[in-house]
Chain A
Amino acid sequence: MTDVTPRVRLTGITKSFLGVPVLHGVDLDLRGGEVHAVMGENGAGKSTLLKVLAGVHRPDGGTIEVDGAPASFAGPTDAQRAGIAIIHQEFTLLPHRSVAENVYLGREPVRRMQVDRRRMVADTRDLLDWLGEDGIDPTDAVSSLSVAQRQVVEIVKALSTDARVLGMDEPTAALADHEVELLYDLVRRLRERGIAILYVSHRMREVFDLSDRITVLKDGRLVTCAPTGELTPEDLVRYMVGRDLGEYYPDRAAPGDLGPVRLALRGAGNARVRDLDLEVRAGEIVGLAGLQGSGRSALARAVFGVEPFTTGGLEVDGAVRRVTRPRTAVRLGIALVTEDRKGDGLALRQSVRDNTLLVRRAALGGRRARARSDVSRLLDLVTVVARGEHQEVRFLSGGNQQKVVLAKWLAVEPRVLLVDEPTRGIDVGAKRAVHELLRDLAKRGVAVLMISSELPELIGMSDRILVMHDGALAGELPAGASEGDVMALATGHTAGAAA
């Protein structure tokens, strides 16, 4: 049921911040019952466009039409009144409150001086039913829900304002693999019910799976807007970066590049993983695949001493070591780039410089920690773009934040580098820079163990691939294995690996 008049039409939107133009005359229309994806590198203007739509930013030029009538939003409430709701990347839910209380937060229905809880719960239940999400009870506390269910609540919250246009900013960023499928399903149901959806994402696969049309932005300009069927992933990458990224990944290590074994596990295990035997050599990138919960991250955390191994042995550079604390790991030259960049990787309110020196100052004693340092050289090496070393990290884009995390580890010159989802939620250009950096480090004798849920990345980068299933290693695959082989091992269908 695609309407003729678009629900919302943005025409010639321009917006500058402090004289720096961010959007140059962007057009966008959203039709009921359509998923419209917006793609582009970080800084291409996607979030600004979303915020213009949400009434957070007022455009400097251009017009907004809602259902064919011109509109202007003085603030988010105006946009909300016009039926536009945005689901932000960060959740806006109160964990200790119930689902219904969250959905009607700030708009609680009142009857005879009291909050009409019965109506609140009933209305929330109606909306959940309408979406076909009967697994969630309106009286459940949000803290008892899974991340995917929280997202449903977030969507219900938006819909409860009678929204007919829904903007979603990187909705899968916080979701585990199996939850993404649930979100797809939900988005499709919303589309069937005539909601217009603006879908902002970095993930190619999602965009092709879900969207009806794709708009690509680059440097604040509209590059193209075309039905999804007429575009290929290669087209999209070319539009987004403005050049061909045919080769995608840096060259793999040649057999002669490999050095001695840097990290070895001999039958290591703990409560989450068991019987791990593996070796990572200097100069190689070993990919670690597996489903969410298969023990990939647990392995990395165990090596790093967060949740140490309780059985078996761990060897670093041939010597048996007991690593029971991250501090010990750091001193042995092991580094861990965690999956949760903002939560575990960075002190968001501190400067780029302080973050870069965080590990060096914390874990290394004496003169090495105090040494007048080479922060700028490190930052150049990882190609961080920041206003300066003193800018707070929270103001950087995801890609630049990740580069700061890498710089932080490079500052202590690790010999073993564990990276968990190194390119999650960062744009194509930054992704490529991270890939090149990892390969570069390997070339300089670092042993890299890379965990990634993105199979193309894992396969493209790894010199060999270890696959985990249910807390144990399920098998090893050579460079360039197919996605099917990896998935077969990861899901425990070992018969598939032979095929």
Chain B
Amino acid sequence: MAVSDENLAVQYHNGDEQAFEQLVRRYAATVRSLAVNMLGDGHMADDIVQQVFLRVHRNADKLPEINNFRAWLLTIATNRCLTMIRKRTTKPDPLPMDNVIAGLLAGPDTTITAVERNERVVRLCEALNTLKPEQRATLVLHYQEGLSYAQIAERMDTTVNTIKSRFRRTKERLRQQLKDLYPESIS
């Protein structure tokens, strides 16, 4: 059976560099995806990934106190992303295209043409980029990480009701912008 994250963290605390490596192997993709999804920028995401694991590497003495390593790690990553978004002056780049295309193809309507698809990809990216950082973060945590509203509220240090209403407003906003993209069979 695989060693738990928390046990690995303790092993690293006790001087086992291999344990650190295992943690990085386990979570590099998750943290990077989280950052890419929130920031829409691969380079900035790589910076975040480095910062997050550097923090783990340098804070070995704190690791044994952590009850849920995954939650702790993703909280740090989320907060770093939010800080970076607030400070950045440039507009975010679109998400990696193939990501979004996969998203569109996963919908019920797979018969769209290439031209339509490109247009939709751009539209979806634009729509996502108009969201406030917190709104986008909420979507990412919900859809990438599958977190419940209560868990998101805990991560973002706010109430469940705030998250619920933020979630509704975010979806409403996306819906407004993507109105005509919905498959015709539905509307």
Same complex = no
